[in-house]
Structure 1
Amino acid sequence: MTHPATAVGPTVRQRWRTGRWVLLALLVVAVIATVGTYLTAPKPGTPMDPQSTSPDGTRALVTLLRDGGVEVIEAGSVADVERAAREDTLIVFAETGLLTDEDRLRRLAELPGDRLLVEPVSRAREALAPELRADGVSSFTVEPDCDLPAAERAGDADLGLTESYRATSEEVRLTRCYDGALVRYTDAGRTITVVGGSSFMTNGALLERGNAALAMNLAGAAPRVIWFVPQQREGDTGDASLADLIPDQVGWIVLQLALAVVLLAIWQGRRLGPLVAESLPVVIRASETVEGRGRLYRSRRARDRAADALRTGTLGRLLPRLGLAATAPTHTVTQAVATRTGAEPTAVADLLYGPAPATDADLVTLARQLDDIERQVAHS
């Protein structure tokens, strides 16, 4: 008896011959995709790391410098910098917050060659650029506004929120660019350049405005560059206080935020909004309102307020009849009323501008006299 399996066998083998090429093609695609992803993925690292391809790294700038013929030596410790330092070398100092030991900073300050300090903390700036002092925060300055060739050739640059600097004395010939965010001076035969921000040199911002040109002009000022980014904290951290490790511009930022909050509170606190007219729930006759106010004055013995209200009402009706303005002087009103009524000016002045009544009876008498004088003016 013949089994159907003999007929099925060739069909399965044929399918395998066809399918294995599909599987092999899928495997090759997967391998290529994996390798491509690995090669193109950002290489992590610390900020300003010359090997990092992340947005805050500087792999792109270092590659451009090397392509331009600049010898870039990567240093991760003070010892590496000391071994490579020479007279014809520019030392780029980045991430100086990791330099906390005074002895190491002193050793770096004694090395030959020019210096480029990128966003230095106060401790490093005082050791490596002692002729400078902080001068507040300079935010988003774009025009160089100076005669420094490196900045003039770069033109507008987006430096972001940076520290600005000034000289400690007038004897220092300091060149200030970008509103003080970039400064340069000469000391002991070496050129010292300090820039208050580092973002324009990173991979993420290098293509904005003239950032690439400015970064290359500053870092490529010498044929040989030591790119110093400490890989770990240098020295004993016991001598470093929290204030030393905080960038100088943080205090200004906090102060500006506090001022903004205070101004916002004042602005919002004074916004009472427009007046809204609301209809009364009931209609009250004018006589009832007058009687109610009179009872209120009487209960509080406010004869002075009641007299002022009576005199103000009388003057408000008399002045138009006399052809006088509301700002007319007292003696002018008194003389005009006396002329129209034939009364003595002294009596008229006492009636219209005199002291408050001492008793309720005097208040009633005042009301009657004001009514009489108003009637006389009206019929004169």
Structure 2
Amino acid sequence: MTPAAPGRLEPTSPEVASGVDSGAASGASARSPGQTTATTSVSPTAGGLWRGGRGVLLVALLVVGVAVAGVLLGGSGGPGRLLDPADASLSGGKALARLLQARGVRVERVTSVAEAATLAGRAGPAGSTLLLSETFPLDEAEAKRLATLPSDLLAVGVRAHLDLLAPGIAPRREARARSREPRCGLPAAERAGSAYTGGVALTAPPGSIGCYPADGVPTLVSHSGAGRTVTVAGDGQFMTNLRLAEDGNAALAANLAGGRPTLIWLTPPESAAQTGGGKAGLYDLVPEGVRWAVAQVLVAVLLLALWRGRRLGPVVAERLPVVVRAAETVEGRARLYRARRARDRAAAALRAGFTDRVTPRLGLPPGTGPDALVNAIAERTGQAASHVGAALYGPPPVDEAGLVALAEYMDIVERQVGKS
């Protein structure tokens, strides 16, 4: 007689495990012809997930790389102050200021017409050049005052009150900014050669010199008279940090702005936020490039989450090569125990299975001690506590007859517990 099917079996030796596999295989070969073959579902493997997800991962890494590169190459991340000699952004004019200083020209950055007038008076007649860009908010009174200064005037991109600053020079039409040849006799333009000019085509009064024409109309006009020279450029991009190294832009800017020992560079006053007078939040302090980088990273993470959160599709069924019944597995294990004379292991398996099944029926928690379990079984079934204790915790049987008797006794006790 083989022992009853245990609820839990201890680990066996490698020899016993190999015997179980052979017994299971032999039992499967003996199944009836009409028995159907079971199926099981197959989940995606790690390799399949990697092959399917590496494309999305590559796209995410590419987006992050582009965002980081944009931040690193974006300089200060802000738009900058156009033609400001203290601004190192792409639109600033710090490179030109350094170039002029290297040539011995003193660059004075001022933010008001009053300051410019004071410096021009100190420099004396023809001792300074006043640089005025389109960014400076100039009213009519200030324009009239600038027109009376003894300094030479270089106006780039200026359209407001141009009739007061440079009489006879006026905007005529729009002109696309691009690289152009000077085609004039102005020494500053001839030495520079081609330059990035345009913006506005200008009318030139008699006696003036027009350079860098757009369809025959000059985009840079220079006029000398009354002891000073007034030069108007339709666009000031050739003086920015971005364009200064292209063509002859640096030479043209230096020749026009560095003709006198002092350059008075008139720039608009800084805003309250830039000077610290206003309250700037944490978001305002973050460079614009960093914001775009964070936004791109969030989009990449969202796309990755949507991809990972999708359904994996219908369940795939796979036909199993063999089907082993539970009874055949138990019988094969019992034969192995018998062949190896492993009565101690068989008894331990029977006792463990009995304890696991009986303990919840008695209303006891898992892990109940031996004394409490034995007393509960004896009280429920009327069996002697000494007999129950010897059956559950006594020494293993010495022969097969004792093992069979132990199995029969525990089977009787289990039935009594179930009926009580």
Band of TM-score, shorter chain: 0.3 to 0.5
* Alignment TM-score, normalising by the size of structure 1: 0.47
* Alignment TM-score, normalising by the size of structure 2: 0.43
